[in-house]
């Protein structure tokens, strides 16, 4: 379905969002009247240089930080704090080292007193989805970076969030693992019909994964362009050297350097 289809529900609406940080020296505008939206089941990426405010938007959507002005909502509800309706995956590994892979995945369910049998059903499902069935009893320190991020994704999904917020989740991984994780994430998105907001510095990753992307610039942090990625160009690594792919990539690079 085209993202411009007006019948598609807007899961996230960001309305004139601004954020300033006051330091000893200055008041700094990290986000300047940002408007954006994410449709249900859509994969949207924020791409831009370091410091343009990508993580600030994500933290506000996660409810980990307040906006200075403007608003953000999920399914029509104003975002006022963290909630189980949003699953977050960060770049740094955030698993609990004292819990096994399965217990990490079940963590949010245990907090909500989901019965043991139901918890196991859910963790079984997500262990399978992220290809870690044989690692259920393993502890995080025995896992590779890619495996840790697969557990983090499974843990986020186990709570049945309405959407996933992912802040450079693959940035610390080697190229091969990163490519594998991109494929896995796209499969998960299809399987779970997930709505995803993804952050990356990597323009090729953004084009490969996204239905739509917002290009950001800094000082002040703002969105300078919204780009829809044609369906036929997504999810196909072979097209990386094709003319249309290079054209979109150049459009983004030119924007970032202008």
Contact 40, 195 (CB under 8 A): yes
Query: In terms of CB distance, is 20 or 100 closer to ligand ATP?
Result: 20
Tokens 């008041």 belong to 27
Quick check: 23 binds ligand ATP (CB under 6 A)?
yes
Count of residues of this chain found to bind ligand ATP when the rule CB under 6 A is applied = 14
CB closer to ligand ATP, 140 vs 221? 221
The only residue of 15, 51, 139, 251 in contact with ligand ATP, by rule CB under 6 A: 51
Question: Closer CB to ligand ATP, residue 127 or residue 196?
Answer: 196
> Cα–chain-centroid distance for residue 1?
21
- Only segment of 50-58, 100-108, 128-136, 202-210 that touches ligand ATP (CB under 6 A): 50-58
The Cα angle at residue 82 between residues 19 and 67, in degrees rounded to 5: 10
Residue 36, class by beta-carbon neighbours within 10 Å (0-12 exposed, 13-18 middle, 19+ buried)? buried
Binding-site string for ligand ATP from residue 207 to residue 226, where x marks contact by CB under 6 A and - marks none: --------------x-----
Which range, of 7-15, 54-62, 107-115, 248-256, touches ligand ATP by CB under 6 A?
54-62
Beta-carbon contacts of 190 under 8 Å, excluding residues fewer than 6 positions away, are none
Q: Which of the residues 141 through 180 are near ligand ATP (CB under 6 A)?
A: none
Looking at beta carbons only, is 48 or 140 nearer to ligand ATP?
48
Q: Which is closer to ligand ATP, CB of 56 or CB of 195?
A: 56
Interacting residues with ligand ATP (CB under 6 A): 21, 23, 28, 30, 48, 50-56, 201, 221
């Amino acid at each position: 379905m085209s993202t411009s289809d007006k019948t598609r529900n807007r899961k996230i609406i960001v309305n004139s969002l601004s954020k300033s940080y006051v330091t000893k020296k200055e008041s700094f505008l990290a986000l300047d009247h940002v408007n954006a939206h994410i449709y249900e089941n859509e994969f949207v990426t924020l791409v831009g240089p370091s410091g343009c405010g990508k993580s600030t938007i994500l933290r506000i959507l996660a409810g980990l930080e307040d906006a200075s002005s403007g608003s953000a909502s999920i399914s029509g509800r104003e975002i006022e704090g963290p909630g189980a309706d949003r699953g977050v995956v960060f770049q740094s590994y955030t698993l609990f080292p004292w819990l096994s892979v399965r217990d990490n995945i079940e963590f949010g369910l245990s907090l909500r007193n989901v019965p043991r049998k139901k918890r196991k059903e859910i963790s079984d499902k997500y262990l399978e989805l992220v290809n870690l069935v044989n690692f259920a009893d393993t502890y995080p320190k025995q896992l590779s970076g890619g495996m840790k991020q697969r557990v983090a994704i499974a843990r986020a999904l186990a709570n049945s969030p309405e959407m996933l917020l992912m802040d450079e989740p693959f940035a610390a991984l080697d190229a091969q693992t990163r490519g594998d994780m991109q494929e896995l994430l796209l499969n998960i998105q299809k399987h779970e019909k997930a709505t995803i907001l993804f952050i990356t510095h990597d323009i090729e990753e953004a084009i490969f994964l996204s239905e739509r992307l917002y290009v950001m610039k800094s000082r002040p942090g703002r969105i300078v362009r919204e780009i829809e990625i044609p369906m036929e160009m997504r999810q196909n690594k072979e097209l990386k050297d094709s003319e249309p792919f290079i054209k979109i990539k150049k459009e983004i690079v030119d924007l970032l350097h202008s």
